[in-house]
């Protein structure tokens, strides 16, 4: 199933960028060989939390982990717009 | 203030703090000040498992083929984890239930502790399979100096809070002399003890388990002790959830979203909280040294395990606003994450797709056309 959230640009603070094609931002990062810490991949442990510098994301499930106002959990989010992450 | 099991005063739980407000009366979840705890309860219950579901019989043969150094690593870790879960299976109940003021948080604490008792039972399940009589392993937990030292540090914050709470609930605020020792009891001191205790529990769930998890999964990477590894994966998944709960509590306080006095205490005691974490890191490194004292195991040594402790500590400390004190930027044991991934821990085949399969599975909506294809 294609969703309108695929094909958004994901930019990282090191200047690299790629477009989203997977089911979660974490999978997109892994697809592009970006190593990010993760444990549960289900939004409850918070191991993958990172800062969202710009853009908007949506959660695919209700996350249980603590997330600060400027943070997201890549394991259970999809980009709604082009986004920039502090990775 | 005297504890009562059913506070007769009408209480608005939407304005109570998490702790040290009015005691809970009605266990109601229709209104929740911090809905996250109800969600954690649901998630935790969906994770329910029994040690007996996991077949550990093959581990006995594997264990006999391990070197003496590896046997020491394996058994010592089980002893340490037995200690941790013995403490966690009772202490949140005894320390936190007498002072909790929100029904959803009270039930979360009970659910959390209950799962720690499942973990404790699983260690007996594992050890009974390895030894005809495992009592020497359990007996040594009380005799082993390396374990006792850790036990003292883990239990002291709980014990201080429990004792101060008992004095407060029986004698009230003031200066009390017990067995020749003077104790000053006031709300500020009680809340400080609670804050430090919560930080100690957070550090326990965040890093203390991870040295032994790493050893267990290093055996599993070699296809050894896989029954044990399956159980430890289930335990690790639960511990992740417990860690999330203590991170929520600490952050709710620090960000002033609960008791304003706790926000002041969080700012005031930040250095002490950091010390608690750094002490735990140091003790875990010493534990790694003790584990490898008789020799290494394939795929893991003291150095790499210590780096992993620092790496994990950076992650966990950043999560509660304590910064990243260690200079380790990448995970020295990347394969660990495969074992901590909750999709890889299921034991029952019907759970192979989603772990929370029990939630919302009964559909009570019956529409008029549901029986259209039905013929008699």
Tell me the C-alpha to C-alpha distance, in Å, between residue A49 and each of A16, A68, B145, B161, B298: 19, 9, 38, 32, 32
- pLDDT digit string, tens, across residues B95-132: 999 999 999 999 999 999 999 999 999 999 999 999 99
pLDDT at B99: 97
What residues have CB less than 8 Å from B206, skipping those under 6 apart?
Answer: B243, B246, B277, B312, B313, B316
d(C-alpha B204, C-alpha B279), whole Å? 11
Predicted ipTM of the assembly: 0.91
pLDDT at residue A2 greater than cutoff 60: no
pLDDT confidence bin for A3, thresholds 50/70/90: low
pLDDT at A4: 66
d(C-alpha B346, C-alpha B355), whole Å? 7
pLDDT at B354: 43
pLDDT at B342: 79
Tell me the C-alpha to C-alpha distance, in Å, between residue B205 and each of A31, A87, B16, B187, B308: 31, 26, 27, 27, 15
Whether A36 contacts A85, CB under 8 Å: no
d(C-alpha B8, C-alpha B23), whole Å? 10
Q: Which two tokens stand for residue B361?
A: 């599975």
pLDDT at B361: 53
CA B319 to chain centre: 16
Answer whether B337 sits within 8 Å of A37, measured CB to CB. Answer: yes
Query: How many Cβ atoms are within 10 Å of B22's Cβ, its own excluded?
Result: 17
Query: By CA distance, what is A62's nearest residue in B?
Result: B39
pLDDT at B356: 46
Nearest to A66 among B39, B244, B340 (CB): B244
Distance in Å, alpha carbon of A40 to nearest chain B alpha carbon: 4
Whether B319 contacts A46, CB under 8 Å: yes
Answer whether A38 sits within 8 Å of B342, measured CB to CB. Answer: no
Query: By CA distance, what is A87's nearest residue in B?
Result: B329
d(C-alpha A85, C-alpha A11), whole Å? 6
Answer whether A38 sits within 8 Å of B43, measured CB to CB. Answer: no
pLDDT at B296: 87
Tracing tokens 């590896």 back to the chain, one arrives at B70
pLDDT at B289: 96
Task: Give the pairing type, strands A17-19 and A50-54.
Answer: unpaired
pLDDT at residue A1 greater than cutoff 80: no
Please identify every stretch of chain B with a pLDDT value under 70, giving residue numbers as ranges.
344-363
pLDDT at B31: 92
- pLDDT digit string, tens, across residues A33-67: 999 999 999 999 999 999 999 999 999 999 999 99
Output A2 or A86, whichever has higher pLDDT: A86
């Amino acid at each position: 199933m294609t969703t309108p959230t695929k094909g958004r640009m994901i930019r990282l603070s090191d200047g690299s960028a790629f477009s989203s094609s997977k089911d979660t931002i974490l999978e997109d990062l892994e697809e592009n060989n970006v190593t990010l810490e993760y444990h549960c991949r289900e939004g409850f442990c918070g191991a993958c939390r990172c800062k969202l510098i710009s853009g908007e994301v949506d959660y695919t499930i209700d996350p249980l982990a603590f997330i600060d106002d400027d943070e997201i959990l890549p394991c259970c989010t999809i980009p709604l717009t082009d986004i920039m992450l502090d990775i | 203030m005297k504890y009562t099991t059913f506070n007769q005063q009408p209480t608005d739980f939407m304005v109570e703090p998490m702790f040290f407000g009015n005691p809970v009366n009605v266990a109601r979840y229709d209104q929740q000040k911090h809905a996250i705890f109800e969600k954690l309860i649901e998630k935790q219950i969906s994770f329910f498992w029994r040690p007996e579901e996991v077949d550990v019989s093959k581990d006995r043969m594997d264990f006999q083929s391990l070197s003496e150094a590896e046997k020491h690593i394996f058994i010592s870790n089980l002893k340490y984890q037995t200690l941790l879960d013995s403490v966690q299976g009772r202490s949140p109940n005894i320390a936190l239930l007498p002072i909790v003021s929100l029904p959803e948080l009270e039930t979360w604490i009970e659910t959390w502790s209950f799962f720690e008792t499942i973990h404790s039972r699983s260690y007996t399940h594992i050890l009974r399979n390895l030894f005809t009589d495992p009592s020497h392993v359990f007996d040594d937990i009380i005799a082993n100096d390396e374990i006792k030292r850790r036990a003292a540090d883990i239990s002291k914050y709980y014990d201080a809070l429990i004792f101060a709470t008992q004095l407060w609930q029986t004698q009230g605020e003031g200066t009390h002399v017990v067995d020749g020792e003077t104790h000053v009891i006031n709300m500020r001191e009680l809340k400080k003890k609670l804050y430090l205790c919560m930080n100690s529990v957070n550090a326990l769930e965040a890093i203390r388990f991870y040295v032994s998890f790493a050893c267990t999964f290093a055996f599993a990477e070699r296809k050894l002790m896989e029954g044990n590894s399956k159980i430890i994966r289930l335990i690790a998944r639960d511990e992740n959830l417990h860690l999330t709960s203590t991170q929520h509590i600490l952050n709710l306080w620090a960000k002033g979203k609960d008791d304003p006095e706790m926000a002041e205490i969080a700012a005031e005691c930040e250095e002490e909280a950091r010390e608690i974490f750094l002490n735990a890191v140091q003790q875990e490194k010493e534990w790694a040294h003790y584990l490898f004292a008789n020799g290494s195991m394939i795929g893991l040594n003291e150095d790499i395990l210590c780096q992993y402790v620092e790496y994990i500590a950076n992650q966990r400390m950043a999560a509660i606003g304590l910064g990243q004190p260690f200079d380790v930027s990448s995970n020295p044991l990347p394969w660990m994450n495969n074992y901590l991934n909750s999709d890889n821990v299921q034991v029952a085949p019907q759970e192979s797709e989603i772990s929370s399969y029990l939630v919302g599975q009964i559909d009570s909506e019956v529409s008029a056309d549901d029986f259209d294809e039905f013929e008699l």
